Chain A
Amino acid sequence: MGAKMVEFNGWDMPVEYPASLGGGIVAEHLAVRSGVGIFDVSHMGDIRLAGREALAAVQHISMNDASRLAIGQAQYSALLYPQGTFVDDVIVHRLGEDEYLLVINAGTREKDFNWVRNNTRQFDCAVEHLSDDFTQIAIQGPKGVDVLQKLTDADLSAVKFYWLTRGTVCGLKNILMGRTGYTAEDGFEIYISADEATSARVWHEILAAGKEFGVVPCGLGSRNTLRLEGKLPLYGHEISDTINVWEAGLDRFCKMEKPDFIGRAALEKAKAEGVKRTLVCLEMIDRGIARDGYKVLDDTGREIGYVTSGSPAPFLKKNIALAYVPLAQSAVGTTVKVEIRGQGVKAQVVPSPFYKRPKKAAKSE
C-alpha cells in the first residue's frame, strides 16, 4: 500500500501510510479520534492457557484478579518479576470455563512465553504459543464498531468495553472479537487465521466497509501518538524490568488482596518503604518537543528524572511527554524543564491522562 516501513522488534512494519490513502501520522491519528482507523497488529503475541488449573496458573503470573472475569470478559494486567517489576503488560481474555488468552507485546513474545511456561509448570494447565497462528487487526475510533458490524453477524452493540464475542467475520466462522484497543478510543480487535491470502482479503474488506466512514489505514507512528495521548504504557518506556507497579501508577490493575502472585511480596515491601519516583504527564510550556530519553530538570537545572515517551500530540495540538520524577515534583502544576539539545525548556505537570474519549450521549428509553 506504499507505506513507509521500518524494522520493529524483528518485524517489517508500516510507520505511516501515504497521503494518497488518507495517511500520514497526523491524518491517521485524527481519523481514529473522529472516525475510524485500522491497524495490522499481528506482531502482537498470543499465549493460550487451558486446563483444569488454568485460572490458578493465570493468577500466579498475572497481577490483576482473573477470578473476576466472566467467560467472554477481558482485563488489563501485567506479568511481574519477583522484584515487582515488569516482564510485560498484557490483556487477559477469558475464553472459556478453563481457557485464557494472554495478548502480549511483539518484542517480548519469546521472553513472555518462556516466562509463562516456566512459571506455571506446577499447574495442571497447557500453555501454548499461538502468536504465529493469528493475524490481529484493530479497528479503532468512534465509528469502529459500525464498520465491523457491517462485516459480522454478531450483535456488537451487546458487547461492552473489554468484553469479547465470537461470530462470522467476512465469511470466516467463529472469529474472536474483543472490544479492546491501544488508542484510548472505542473499537474492536479481531483475531483471524494468519494465512496471507485470508489476512489480505479481510484487511481490504474492512477498508471497503469503512469507506463510507472515512476509514484510514494506520501505522506505528499514529499508534504511538494515540496511546501517548491516552497515557497507555509502552513496554521499555513507562514499564520495564527496572520499574515497579507503584512507580508506573498501575495500582488499580494490581490486586494485592488476591492469593499470592509473583512479585507480590516485593510490592508489599516497596509500598511500606514508600515510592521514590512516579510517572507524570508533562505538557511543554515553551517552544520545544520533549522526546524519549530526554532529561527532566528542576527550576535550578538539576537533573531530577527523564522522559519515557514524548511527542507532538496531533489531537490535543500540544507537545506532551510522560516522565519519571521524584514524588516531591509530581503535583499537578509543578513546573520543570526538559533538556532539549542542551537547553532547559519549560514544561508543566498536568492531570492524567492527557486525553479521555468523550462519553457517548445516554440513550433515551
Chain B
Amino acid sequence: MSYPSDRKYTKEHEWIAADGAIGITHHAQESLGDIVFVDLPKIGAEIVIGKPFGTVESVKAVSDLYAPVSGTVTAANEALATAPESVNKDAHGSWMVKIKLKDPSELNGLLSAADYEKFVSEEAGH
C-alpha cells in the first residue's frame, strides 16, 4: 500500500490533509474490519491534539478517533452516518471531519507518508 504524500499521518492511524480534512488510514480500516458506525463531533466543537474526538465502530469493537492536531470542527461528513462502509472502500477518500487548525506547527510532529508506511510495516513485524 502506498500512502498519499499530500497529507500527514499519526501513529494512531489517522491522516490530516492540507485543507484540514481528517480521516483514518487504509491500514486502520483493514484492522477494524467492516465499519458499521461513525460518531463525529458537532460543527464548532474543539478538538485537542492526542485526545479522542469521536468513535468508529466495527461489528466487534468501538475505537476512539484521536485528534492529530488541535482545532475547531468546521464540517462533519454526514454521508458516513448512512454509509459507514465507505471508509472500508476508500479510507483515504473518506474524510470524517474538517477543522480549522489552532496551531499549524503541530503538523511538524506528525509522520510523512514514507514514515507512516515504515511505521505500519514495523508494527506488523515484516
A: residues with CB less than 8 A from B are 4, 15-16, 24-26, 221, 224-225, 287-289, 291, 311-312, 314, 341
Contact = CB atoms under 8 A, between A and B. Distances in A.
B3 interface: no
Contact of A311 (B39, B59, B81): B59
Given A287-B81, A291-B62, A25 B34 contact: yes
Nearest to A222: B59
A314 B60 CA distance: 12
B33 A24 contact: yes
Contacts of A26: 34, 59
Interface residues of B, number: 12
B37 A4 contact: no
Contact of A225 (B37, B39, B55, B59): B59
Q: Chain A: interface secondary structure?
A: mixed
Interface in B33-65: 33-34, 36-37, 39, 55, 57-60, 62
Q: Chain B: interface secondary structure?
A: strand
A166 B81 CA distance: 51
A314 B59 contact: yes
19 contacts: A4-B33, A15-B33, A15-B60, A16-B33, A24-B34, A25-B33, A25-B58, A25-B59, A25-B60, A221-B33, A221-B60, A225-B59, A287-B37, A287-B81, A289-B37, A289-B57, A311-B59, A312-B36, A314-B59
A311 B58 CA distance: 9
A357 B60 CA distance: 23
Contacts of A314: 59
Contacts of B36: 289, 312
A25 B36 CA distance: 11
Interface in B54-102: 55, 57-60, 62, 81
B41 to A, nearest CB: 12
A291 B57 CA distance: 11
A205 B58 CA distance: 32
A291 B55 CA distance: 14
Nearest to B34: A26
Given A15-B33, A291-B62, 13 more contacts: A24-B33, A25-B33, A25-B58, A25-B60, A26-B34, A26-B59, A221-B60, A225-B59, A287-B37, A288-B37, A289-B37, A289-B62, A311-B60
A26 B36 CA distance: 10
Contact of A312 (B39, B55, B59, B81): B59
